[in-house]
């Protein structure tokens, strides 16, 4: 009985830890203006590369160039949402400079279900240093959507914002699949770790590969494709006719558009690419895009008459969301 109670307490404790931060719904790193919208619509977004908190750039608002940066997200009535971000201010802003949420009813406009706002001056000192800020919103009754805004319109001082994350605190954090997960029992014939570009090709050719180092000892080296730096990656592999399985890990926070896909082209000797067919599987069909690592399993049958090299492609050009790919492996299955 004591053991059962101890296990129950541990389970409740671990569950509370998962809920403490909640489910990550949106991440804006301000590396590109394609991650958010602006008002007025003709505003010119300035991304500062001299002193960002994270990554390469932070968004900057000045008295001469100020606007509202915002994004939309579905919400659930009664749920608590947390917005975390880094803030740096060169002086004390006027009260109207804020972070806010305008809630909409089903079929209603922005604010039809209420509004909440937090003045930047109350969130951090104006000392020109980076400070991590956090505000909590609670979705009102009848709210189905929120417009979350960095409302720095008509700012009287220069304000920098970086690395914004939006969580649903009523949902548990998404859990990633274990590294080195394997489904196939076949013979391993190809392994790509994605820690460098050796053996890989890129299209469009003028784009540049982006790789992420493992964040921990059990982490993954990964290929990173973003809306601001999108491309397709491919390599060539000799595959004998018969059954094969391709497996890889992938991660995205938002559902990739259908054109974001794994593709394997079957080509005859001297023929045009894919003249014997192809296997195409959109990433969105391989699991839920919730910010956790997913393990993709793609079974395929290589046709007779295939040439010496099949083109294996991760087609992510013009992606709508940041996608990471890790640990791609190809297995030949027993017939």
Task: Select from 3.40.50.2300, 2.60.120.260, 2.60.40.290, 3.30.565.10 the CATH code of 187-332.
Answer: 2.60.120.260
Count CA within 13 A, CB hemisphere, residue 275: 11
Peptide bond into 40 cis (omega under 30): yes
Are the folds of 21-168 and 187-332 the same?
yes
- Helix (H) or strand (E) segment spanning residue 4: helix 2-21
Residue 97 and residue 67: Cα distance in Å, rounded?
Answer: 10
Which of 185-189, 216-220, 224-228, 233-237 is predicted least confidently? 216-220
Q: Any idea where the domains of the chain sit in the sequence? A: 21-168, 187-332
Asked if the model's pLDDT at residue 5 lies above 90, the reply is no
In this prediction, residues 233-261 reach a mean pLDDT of: 96
Q: Is 183 left (phi over 0), alpha (psi -120 to 50) or beta?
A: alpha
- Look at residue 15 in the predicted model and tell me its pLDDT: 36
Tokens of 123: 């969130």
Burial of 4 (0-12, 13-18, 19+ CB in 10 A): exposed
Phi, psi (degrees; rounded to nearest 5) at 5 = -65, -40
DSSP notation for 182-236: ----SEEEEEE--SS-TT-EEESTTS---EE--SSTT---EEEE-SSS--EEEEE
pTM over 0.85: no
Q: What is the pLDDT of residue 227?
A: 87
Indicate the fold that domain 21-168 takes in CATH. Answer: Jelly Rolls (2.60.120)
Q: How confident is the model at residue 55 (pLDDT cuts 50, 70, 90)?
A: confident
Cβ atoms 47, 33 nearer than 8 A = yes
């Amino acid at each position: 009985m004591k053991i059962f109670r101890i296990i129950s307490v541990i389970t409740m404790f671990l569950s509370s830890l998962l809920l403490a931060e909640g489910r990550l719904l949106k991440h804006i790193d301000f590396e590109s203006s394609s991650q958010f919208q602006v008002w007025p619509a003709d505003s010119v977004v300035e991304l500062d590369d001299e002193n960002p908190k994270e990554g390469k750039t932070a968004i900057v608002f000045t008295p001469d160039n100020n606007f509202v940066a915002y994004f939309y997200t579905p919400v659930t009535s009664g749920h608590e949402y947390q917005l975390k971000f880094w803030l740096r201010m060169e002086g004390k802003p006027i009260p109207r400079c804020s972070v806010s949420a305008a809630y909409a009813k089903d079929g209603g406009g922005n604010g039809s279900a209420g509004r909440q706002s937090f003045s930047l001056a109350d969130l951090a000192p104006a000392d020109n240093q980076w400070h991590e800020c956090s505000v909590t919103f609670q979705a009102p009754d009848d709210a189905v959507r929120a417009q979350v805004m960095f409302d720095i319109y008509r700012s009287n001082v220069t304000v920098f914002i970086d690395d914004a994350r939006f969580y649903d605190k009523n949902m548990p954090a998404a859990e990633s699949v274990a590294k080195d997960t394997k489904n196939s029992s076949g013979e391993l014939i190809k392994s790509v770790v994605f820690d460098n570009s050796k053996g890989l090709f890129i299209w469009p050719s003028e784009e540049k590969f982006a790789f992420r180092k493992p964040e921990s000892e059990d982490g993954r080296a990964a290929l990173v494709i973003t809306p601001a730096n999108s491309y397709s990656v491919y390599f060539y592999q000799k595959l004998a006719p018969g059954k094969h399985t391709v497996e890889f890990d992938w991660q995205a926070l938002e559902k990739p558009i259908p054109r974001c896909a794994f593709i394997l082209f079957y080509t005859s000797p001297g023929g045009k690419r894919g003249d014997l067919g192809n296997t195409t599987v959109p990433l969105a069909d391989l699991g839920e895009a919730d910010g956790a690592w997913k393990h993709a399993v793609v079974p395929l049958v290589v046709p007779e008459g295939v040439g010496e090299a099949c083109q294996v492609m991760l087609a992510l050009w013009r992606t709508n969301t940041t996608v990471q790919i890790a640990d791609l492996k190809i297995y030949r299955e027993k017939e």
